[in-house]
Copies of this chain bind each other. A is one copy, B any other.
């Protein structure tokens, strides 16, 4: 996931697998990141462009002449290792688009272009063709142009394909970035289902597969296709949904639930509490991960999307209109998952979980 400030949380027991134990230690990553960010002190003055401060948000924003541009960069991470194991590359090609445009969607930006950045062990035309097909499908869904890219063949640098990209977006007509600043007590929280684990938590998932000597070709938890296919399902793209509602004054906040899970909601407003009291039962794939790894609910909700990939925080008076707009672009499965109260952090009452604000 892209950089965001350290989040702290509490609640839930500490047993079974955690993301840190699987090899991703958020604490030490955060320490390294602070070291980098503290060293970057330059802020441009008088160049005609102005970065806009959106603390802790999903995309960078910059005023460029008469327009505001949003930018996001992300990779598919270790999901590419599972793609390599299964020889299945189209889905991760589509993920390159999804992981980036969904972060644009979270600020209400409409995608206008993507560049991909691939570091490969070898220039295999079959793999690149499949990645290209995936990119094409993702770009088509997001209505986004491919503006260029970089393909480096660097077997001494990478063990397996490192697949990333950068997307830029903009705010048509009078649209302003959706930052969460207008979120009010009483707002309704809507969730749009995910298509699976998207491109998050794969370091943990791969560990479970290896430790359990699980055959990825065995039947998947949902009963549709193999386990490998379920895990590799490409990231659902929420750009058309976000674009359809970003102009409504009732759209107070948007969030992409990626690597931080529901913790990502904390970023929307420091003085609001997000009560997720109607969270749908997570799909079988998440239950498989949870039970197979004896992963705590606390860890599941801060590592995986748990079945909801995108969240809209909406004024109560705007809910009907929001759902109509979503339906008009084909998103008919948005469901109410909670509401906003005074306070801070994210609460999942049914699971006895709380995630706090910024550290």
Residues of A within 8 A of B (CB): 1-3, 23-25, 28-29, 31-44, 47-49, 51, 59-62, 64-67, 69, 71-75, 77-78, 80-81, 110, 112-113, 115-117, 119-120, 123-133, 135-136, 139-140, 143-162, 164-166, 168, 170, 172, 203, 206
Contacts and interface: CB of A to CB of B under 8 A. Distances in A.
A153 B24 contact: yes
A160 B78 CA distance: 15
A146 B40 contact: yes
A128 B32 contact: yes
Contacts of A116: 73
Given A157-B158, A158-B157, A159-B158, A145 B43 contact: yes
Contacts of A72: 115, 148
Contacts of A3: 148-151
B74 A150 contact: yes
Nearest to A117: B73
A162 B151 contact: no
| Residue in A3, A42, A48 with the greatest tally of chain B CB atoms within 10 Å | A42
A64 B111 CA distance: 10
B154 A39 contact: no
Nearest to A84: B157
| Residue in A32, A35, A126, A132 with the greatest tally of chain B CB atoms within 10 Å | A32
A59 B148 contact: yes
A149 B71 contact: no
A132 B37 contact: yes
A24 B113 CA distance: 29
Given A35-B129, A147-B60, A172-B48, A71 B160 contact: no
A129 B49 contact: no
Contact of A151 (B36, B123, B133, B170): B36
A44 B143 contact: yes
Contacts of A132: 35-40
Given A113-B49, A128-B36, A69 B158 contact: no
